[in-house]
Structure formats: structure tokens, C-alpha cells
A = this chain, B = another copy of it.
Amino acid sequence: MSGKQPIITLTTDFGTSDYYVSAMKAVIISINRDVTIVDVSHEISPQDIMAGSWVLKNTAFLYPENSIHVCVVDPGVGTKRNPIVLQSNNQFFVGPDNGLFSLVADKEKFKAHIISNPDLIRKKPSATFHGRDIFAPAAAHLAAGTPLEFFGPEIPEIVTYKWAEASCTTESIKGWVLHIDRYGNLITNITSKMIKNLESKNVKIYAGTFIINGVVKTFADVDEGEPVAFIGSSGMLEISINKGNASELLGINKGAPVTVFAKKTD
């Protein structure tokens, strides 16, 4: 990268054994060579919109302002869902309007346009590869300074899901496992703020058939092989096993419920 080249990041579920990712890069470069392309991930689980959204949320805002984040996890490619360009929180996003941007768009303050201008996409776009034919060209044009208005009509709302929201009282929090990382750490949708809001700092955490007492600073605070709960690097409650794979050892998968109870101090 050099100087102030626009940054285009790529997040997809394409894997890297096919030609899909390379095709997107080639199309971007052919339209606009004065960009820096950064691979975020191409290993989002196939068609897992929630996982794509999660990865975006945790990295997009670490990039310089006005970076362009192309995200393609698109089970409905070729159906009626809209391809969009989106501006929110000082970043740009390009991809299908299927919920992928749920965790990155400010619901009160965003600008979204459908991509429909045929001059800004490939001729005769295929029905099944909008990454190459619609999103890559849109990103390249956006990086060249094309305003959102040029892409197509503005839309007042985008599709959003509510995965991230656990339900809380001052006595308990009911959430679930949002993501399992490579080490088997269980990342929940329970935020550090929710835990702070509980009546008592003295908590019990129920996950699967296990009960964990208290939230510590990091997994290294317990013995090797012990389960432990702490606030992870994403700001969410994580359940880990020190030097072990918590998902495998506890038999807990994505979507499993996790409950936090504030213990009465009696």
C-alpha cells in the first residue's frame, strides 16, 4: 500500500480453493489499480450471514476512515435481495442487503443505495456470482470517488437481524453462543456492560451442563484444563478452557444458551 490509497477489504464465504476470490481481485484491479486490497477472511462458514456480520463488526472500525468493506455471504444471490452500497459510522460497505450489515450500520444514521446502474457493474452479470459482477466493480468505482447517488436509488431501510441482543434483568442475563473461534473459545452475545448492570458482582454462569463461578480477567487465571469465563478481546463474555478447546471439551456449539445469574449476597 502507499500514501493515501483507498483501502478495499474483502470478507467472503468463498474459501480459497476456487477462483472466486481471485476473480473479485482481478475485476477490482482492472477497474482501479490505485487501491490497497486487504483480505479479511474468505473462510466464513458457507452462507453463514451471522458469522460474516460478526467478523465485519470486529474489524471494520479498526481500519482508517472511509475504507471500503466488501462482504459477500450471499445465500440468496440471484433472487430479489438488493445489492447495496452503504455508508455508516465513517466506513463504506458493499454487499447483499440480507442482514450482513446488521452489526455495523448505525440504525439512526446511514445512507444506502441499491446498485443498479449498469455502467458501474460488469456487462451481462451472471445470476450466481455477484461478487465478481456487481460488488467488486462497485467497490472499485467507490474507491475512485463515485458518489453513492450514482449507483442507484436510495433505500430508507436495510435488512437487520437482532442476533446480538441478549435479554437481561438486574438479576440475570439470557444469551447464547454467537461464535466459536479456531481455539474453541465460545464467544457469547453477552456484553461486559450487561454484566456490570447486574445487582451483584458475584455471578454464576450456566453453559451446557457446566456452571462457572465468576468472571475473571483471562483464561490464564485458572489451572490448565479448567473452564473459565472472561470478557474477551471483542468486548463480549467468552467461555474458554485454559490450554484446551472449550467447544469440544464442554460439548457446546454455536447457538447454545448461556445464562448469567447474579448471586444473592446472603
Q: Does A17 contact B (CB under 8 A)?
A: yes
Q: Report chain B residues within 8 Å CB of A14.
A: 182
Cβ contact within 8 Å between A233 and B30: no
> How many angstroms from the CA of A23 to the CA of B181 in the assembled complex?
14
| Smallest CB separation, A41 vs chain B (Å) | 5
**The one of B2, B62, B233 that contacts A33, using a Cβ cutoff of 8 Å:** B2
Cβ contact within 8 Å between B233 and A59: no
| Smallest CB separation, A121 vs chain B (Å) | 14
Cβ contact within 8 Å between B243 and A47: yes
**The one of B4, B47, B59, B77 that contacts A22, using a Cβ cutoff of 8 Å:** B59
Other A-B pairs, 13, CB within 8 Å; known A19-B40, A128-B232: A1-B36, A2-B34, A4-B33, A5-B33, A11-B22, A16-B43, A17-B44, A17-B45, A18-B55, A18-B179, A25-B38, A78-B220, A129-B232
- Give A contacts to B, CB under 8 Å: 1-5, 7, 9, 11, 13-23, 25-27, 29-30, 33-47, 51, 54-55, 58-59, 62-64, 75-79, 126-129, 132-133, 179, 181-183, 217-220, 230, 232-234, 238, 243
Could you list some 30 contacts between A and B, CB below 8 A? Answer: A1-B34, A1-B35, A1-B36, A2-B5, A7-B29, A11-B22, A15-B43, A17-B44, A18-B55, A18-B182, A19-B40, A19-B58, A22-B62, A23-B58, A23-B59, A30-B62, A33-B64, A37-B38, A46-B182, A46-B183, A62-B132, A75-B243, A77-B218, A78-B219, A126-B233, A127-B218, A128-B219, A128-B232, A129-B232, A129-B233
